[in-house]
Structure 1
Amino acid sequence: MKERPLMLLSNDDGFSAPGLAFLVDVLRPLGDLIVCAPDTARSGMSAAITATVPLRMRLISEEPGLTIYKTNGTPVDCVKLALNYLFKDRKPDAVFSGINHGTNASVAIHYSGTLGAVIEACINDIPAVGLSLDSHTWNADFEPSRPLIRCLAEQVLSKGLPRGSCLNVNIPNTSDLKGLRLCRQARGRWVEEFDERKHPRGDHYYWLTGNFYNDEPESEDTDMHAMKEGYVAVVPSCIDMTDYRLMQQMQGWDLK
């Protein structure tokens, strides 16, 4: 008898986040799930790991097909701990991270704890998918994305992903999703501002604010454009950050 697919789920919004609960509900019919997620929000952690304090992992609940753990670590810590202690006998068939409350399109992939977990799985040669909804509201409506997420997950489980590759999936905040669209990562940047305030004791402190700026608003093949048009943006990404075009150009440099 063929084994049911085994999946690891994580996120950066914490183990109690509605986005993670929804993802569990979508994927549970497809296989057995082990959730290992931070005990509280760890957004913007990227590839951060914990090295100065002990990590702790606590079992929250266990039932047939679904086991949930929380840790005091980052999303990457969660994946590392899970792969080393929860998957000793069998490697997961796929890792899914999210669904994040807030988009991780364009350059946000570099800051995202959601994608940090994905990249860690990718480094370990496990097919991995990061999912994010373009809404920071805690009671955001994830339901319109259900059939599209399931469709993509079924494809990943049956076909796998090339070694060193992963998927960054971003969902527009609309009830009228048009489908999945393969696209590239948009070139953009955050125009950052800091809200400076003064503490009653005299010290100054700062809250990071700012807005995203799309450097190519007219391009129609990007994740930003796909989301604007009502499509779920699917960006194939890889962990090899080598710039092969620049490498070729530098062959003519006088490097001693």
Structure 2
Amino acid sequence: MTKKKPTILVVNDDGITAPGIRVLIEEMQLIGHVIVVAPDSPQSGMGHAITIGKPLRLDKIELYDGVEMYKCSGTPVDCVKLAVNKIFKGNKPDLCVSGINHGLNNSINVLYSGTMSAAVEGAIEHIPSIGFSLDDFSYHADFEHCRKFIQQIAKQVLENGLPTNTLLNVNFPKTKELKGIKICRQAGAHWVEEFDERVDPHNRDYYWMTGKFELQDKGEDTDCYALEHNYVSVVPVQFDMTAHHAIPELNTWTFDR
């Protein structure tokens, strides 16, 4: 008896024409039946934003031969919501993959990432989900060294599943000399922002956000350490943001009745 191919939802935040999503589509086609729903324009840094103040549009397009594809006017999370509700009509895909993002989504970046938020939304829908990112912002980034690891990780998730309310955040260093995969924790770091202030022709101030990434965590079990040492980092991510360790302490506080 021939085993049925898994159905795979492919999404991203760089837009439906981004080179990274094409590589991800090609790799997923080797594993299963692919359906793509992606933003019609770049949506980097959108986090878990959803569209509520204006209508959403979902248009079927023919971009790559043999691939069912839809462009969405909304955010990466909108793409997943529309895919589940309008394309799959409640019949969940076997896997949701997001990316390949142009630029890392390691450490604190996971909170800002549209790529990862799309994968988070997949996990909220009880779909095994993975976000993939590469340390290269260039439009012409070379993703070739990512391919075999993408397949390996996707196949493992399909075979073994993921713990409840958990997804994977996978990041690739730019180097082609990869040493393998490391299961990691998210490194402790943050962005120190600066705002370049300028004046427009109407004499009104405007700002461009700049900044630098500051890593405080020197642990050797983190995603930042793995990437620095030429490993593919794989971090299991949860969307329950409860600080469970803080509950006992807060229960010692005294509140008026």
- TM-score, normalised to structure 1's length? 0.96
Structure 2 residue aligned with 1:227: 227
Structure 2 residue aligned with 1:240: 240
Query: SS where residue 101 of structure 2 aligns?
Result: strand
Counterparts of 1:24-173 in structure 2, within 5 Å, are 24-61=25-62, 66-88=67-89, 90-173=91-174
C-alpha RMSD over aligned residues: 1.4
Query: SS where residue 252 of structure 1 aligns?
Result: coil
What is the CA deviation profile of residues 168-194 of structure 1, one whole-angstrom value per residue up to 9, with x for unaligned ones?
Answer: 111111111111110000010001011
- For 1:255 and 1:137, the matched residues in 2 are separated by 53
How far apart are 1:50 and its partner, in Å?
A: 0.6
What is the CA deviation profile of residues 218-243 of structure 1, one whole-angstrom value per residue up to 9, with x for unaligned ones?
Answer: 21110000000000100001111111
Q: For the Cα contact (< 8 Å) 1:26–1:149, is it kept in 2?
A: yes
Query: SS where residue 43 of structure 1 aligns?
Result: coil
How far apart are 1:244 and its partner, in Å?
A: 1.1
How far apart are 1:116 and its partner, in Å?
A: 0.9
Q: For the Cα contact (< 8 Å) 1:183–1:233, is it kept in 2?
A: yes
Q: For the Cα contact (< 8 Å) 2:84–2:90, is it kept in 1?
A: no
Closer/same/farther in 2, CA of residues 63 and 170 from structure 1, 3 Å limit: closer
In structure 1, give the amino acid aligned to 2:110.
Answer: I
- For 2:63 and 2:82, the matched residues in 1 are separated by 18
In structure 1, give the amino acid aligned to 2:80.
Answer: V
The sequence identity of aligned pairs, in percent, is: 48
For these two proteins, the number of residue pairs brought into alignment is: 255
Query: SS where residue 30 of structure 2 aligns?
Result: helix
The 4+ residue runs of structure 1 with deviation greater than 4 A are: 62-65
Query: SS where residue 224 of structure 2 aligns?
Result: helix
The answer on 1:202 being equivalent to 2:207 is no
Question: Gaps spanning 5+ residues in structure 1: where?
Answer: none
Q: For the Cα contact (< 8 Å) 2:84–2:91, is it kept in 1?
A: no
Closer/same/farther in 2, CA of residues 219 and 151 from structure 1, 3 Å limit: same
Q: For the Cα contact (< 8 Å) 2:191–2:213, is it kept in 1?
A: yes
- For 1:130 and 1:62, the matched residues in 2 are separated by 22
How far apart are 1:206 and its partner, in Å?
A: 0.6
Structure 1 residue aligned with 2:249: 249
In structure 2, give the amino acid aligned to 1:36.
Answer: V
Query: SS where residue 214 of structure 2 aligns?
Result: strand
How far apart are 1:61 and its partner, in Å?
A: 2.1
- For 2:63 and 2:147, the matched residues in 1 are separated by 24
What is the CA deviation profile of residues 8-51 of structure 1, one whole-angstrom value per residue up to 9, with x for unaligned ones?
Answer: 01000000000000111111110001000000000111110111
- For 2:235 and 2:65, the matched residues in 1 are separated by 33
How far apart are 1:252 and its partner, in Å?
A: 2.4
Structure 2 residue aligned with 1:14: 15
How far apart are 1:89 and its partner, in Å?
A: 6.2
- For 1:138 and 1:87, the matched residues in 2 are separated by 31
